[in-house]
Structure 1
């Protein structure tokens, strides 16, 4: 058996259906698909559950992480940690797979050489058609720099603690795994004998103006710099100080049982004191904090004091506070259950976390 790990959040369900249909048509059926819904909104969550029930080979895991940053690494690790099959393939839900794809994976299984695959990209018009795999017209193909679709030996991937859960937002986590495995002495082979998967076109999910889903403005840049430093330090094993790949619904239900509640303003001193004395304290408590703008923030009195050189209250912009809190969670608390919202319209932030 081979385990196929797929991740999902609020995608077009037609894309998901096309993907799962392609697994339904595999010539080799010795596989299981584990699909992790990492925090979809309720409407998508319910519709996905109904759709997946049509496919006996799919196991669906739905995480209550709607108010958390997207973390593909953790979603993959949730599948990896209990995995007992010899091989573990990480794919994408927006792919259509060749009927002989699983058969090919079995032929490529190895403890030393791992394979990742070239992808054929379809146009918008082509993606909306239904036809046999070989009849699709490919617009262009991925290069060896695209490392997302990879077949691993399960035990080897577990030996480096899976995907690094530092990576949040989009990108870099797959390249990171390749880099660490190469540094550990394994080979990564780019399979180009035949295109075995097709990427379905879909619009990019741009953030809506009043979206309260957690979002950090520079995460992508931080991820790339983090990877560059890791290459210099020759890091191999990650997630050393965290319980990687763990998820429990009950932990998220506990977020309703608040032990301490705080009301803060955007005064710099308040925010820094809270982060260092409460958020990063090992209290084993469930805390909630609500942050709003101070009444003196942007006031005429403060502006005049600043102009004449008098001492003023130091404030932080709410976007900066948003980023600071999310960075603290990613770096120190990423295995803790939490709910986070930044209401841009009202300029308020709310965080509930189980420390």
Structure 2
């Protein structure tokens, strides 16, 4: 029985993707096809990964979104589901390697009223891409095994019944656990497959504390707990079907080009009152415009005069750090503008941010 494997990807090393696809090519039975969804990679990455994917006859490459959008794995996977022609979907990960009997095991697990999650072995740093490429699967020894929430086998009808993955979830955290809960709530049985047929390629973990600092790659402080709260809300209300699935929109690079011609530009310093007022009052007024909001770090904010006034508790205009500005805008996108065509950028020197949005829809 044929099934479809969906990958969600953005700006990752092409080599690790190639190794994952090569492990699929070694299957005894090619009873699957791959839907590879590149969600908003930069031109450099998208051009390279497209070449890698299209080498494999069983794989089809799709590029959606654009680089100005925040990373949203749920959107990528939901789009992949719309491109799936089979009744069964395996959600993969670009870091995963599969055993030679993977496709046979998957075929044996396909049931209309059940979804399956899998164990995965985590390879140590010393198992490099070169070692992987020149070793049989059984020769690769993981440092430990763990159960996954996000790598799984699903009936397509089950995903459609619950509305797919919730696109509220941005960056990383809880989107897979939320999906699994809603499937069980909808009456599907969860099966834990204990076969050791998946390995995870090593990569550095992003330091948790780094999320508290501004970076050129947009990151939102406390996003994992915000995502978790959204998931827990579904559990509290026993909600399994998502509302307004029909409102989902998938943008492209041509939509990014539209944002390069804003009809309104608002430039402000990182003064707390101005930032809050613009985001919550002024911006919503421009419903027929493409609006660009530029927030720059004020020279006065870093001056000795301001620091002295602050230290002495003297009255002065309150400022936000650029990280605080970043988090306010990202929260605004998350809660109010996640379905709009927008672009968010942090400057190279971390002293300004740009938020452009098409409010005409």
TM-score by length of 2: 0.87
Higher alpha-carbon deviation: 257-266 or 34-43: 34-43
Match of 2:333 among 329, 333, 350: 329
Alpha-carbon separation, structure 2, partners of 1:327 and 1:9: 21
CA contact (8 A) 1:67 1:214 kept: no
Match of 2:70 in 1: 69
Alpha-carbon separation, structure 1, partners of 2:240 and 2:287: 31
Match of 2:94 in 1: 93
Match of 1:4 in 2: 5
Higher alpha-carbon deviation: 183-192 or 301-310: 301-310
CA contact (8 A) 1:164 1:239 kept: no
1:255-301 per-position Cα deviation (integer Å, ceiling 9, x unaligned): 12312111112222222222123444571531111111345536666
SS at match of 1:169: coil
CA contact (8 A) 1:210 1:344 kept: no
Please report how far the alpha carbon of residue 340 of structure 1 lies from its aligned counterpart in structure 2 after TM superposition: 1.1
Q: Residues 87-126 of structure 1 correspond to what in structure 2 (within 5 A)?
A: 87-126=88-127
Alpha-carbon separation, structure 2, partners of 1:348 and 1:252: 20
Match of 2:290 among 286, 293, 296: 286
Q: Taking structure 1 as reference, are residues 248 and 281 closer, same or farther at Cα in structure 2, changes over 3 Å only? A: farther
Match of 1:172 in 2: 174
- Give me the CA root mean square deviation: 2.7
Match of 1:262 in 2: 266
Match of 1:182 among 168, 175, 184: 184
Please report how far the alpha carbon of residue 114 of structure 1 lies from its aligned counterpart in structure 2 after TM superposition: 0.7
SS at match of 2:301: coil
Q: Taking structure 1 as reference, are residues 157 and 278 closer, same or farther at Cα in structure 2, changes over 3 Å only? A: farther
Does 2:47 align with 1:43? Answer: no
CA contact (8 A) 2:121 2:146 kept: yes
Alpha-carbon separation, structure 1, partners of 2:281 and 2:149: 40
Q: Taking structure 1 as reference, are residues 21 and 301 closer, same or farther at Cα in structure 2, changes over 3 Å only? A: closer
Q: Taking structure 1 as reference, are residues 279 and 110 closer, same or farther at Cα in structure 2, changes over 3 Å only? A: farther
Q: Residues 117-266 of structure 1 correspond to what in structure 2 (within 5 A)?
A: 117-127=118-128, 128-129=131-132, 130-143=134-147, 146-192=148-194, 194-204=195-205, 211-238=215-242, 240=244, 243-244=247-248, 246-266=250-270
Please report how far the alpha carbon of residue 333 of structure 1 lies from its aligned counterpart in structure 2 after TM superposition: 1.3
Q: Taking structure 1 as reference, are residues 257 and 201 closer, same or farther at Cα in structure 2, changes over 3 Å only? A: same
SS at match of 1:3: strand
5+ residue gaps, structure 1, are none
Query: Post-superposition, which runs of at least 4 consecutive aligned residues in structure 1 deviate over 4 A?
Result: 205-211, 298-311
Alpha-carbon separation, structure 2, partners of 1:25 and 1:155: 29
Q: Taking structure 1 as reference, are residues 267 and 312 closer, same or farther at Cα in structure 2, changes over 3 Å only? A: same
5+ residue gaps, structure 2, are none
Match of 1:277 in 2: 281
Alpha-carbon separation, structure 1, partners of 2:269 and 2:141: 56
Structure holding more helix per residue: 2
Higher alpha-carbon deviation: 151-160 or 270-279: 270-279
Q: Taking structure 1 as reference, are residues 182 and 245 closer, same or farther at Cα in structure 2, changes over 3 Å only? A: farther
Alpha-carbon separation, structure 1, partners of 2:181 and 2:342: 30
Alpha-carbon separation, structure 1, partners of 2:346 and 2:116: 41
Alpha-carbon separation, structure 1, partners of 2:172 and 2:350: 27
Match of 1:350 in 2: 354
1:242-263 per-position Cα deviation (integer Å, ceiling 9, x unaligned): 7336233432221123121111
Please report how far the alpha carbon of residue 52 of structure 1 lies from its aligned counterpart in structure 2 after TM superposition: 1.6
Please report how far the alpha carbon of residue 191 of structure 1 lies from its aligned counterpart in structure 2 after TM superposition: 0.5
SS at match of 2:319: coil
Q: Taking structure 1 as reference, are residues 30 and 288 closer, same or farther at Cα in structure 2, changes over 3 Å only? A: same
Alpha-carbon separation, structure 2, partners of 1:184 and 1:121: 32
SS at match of 1:340: strand
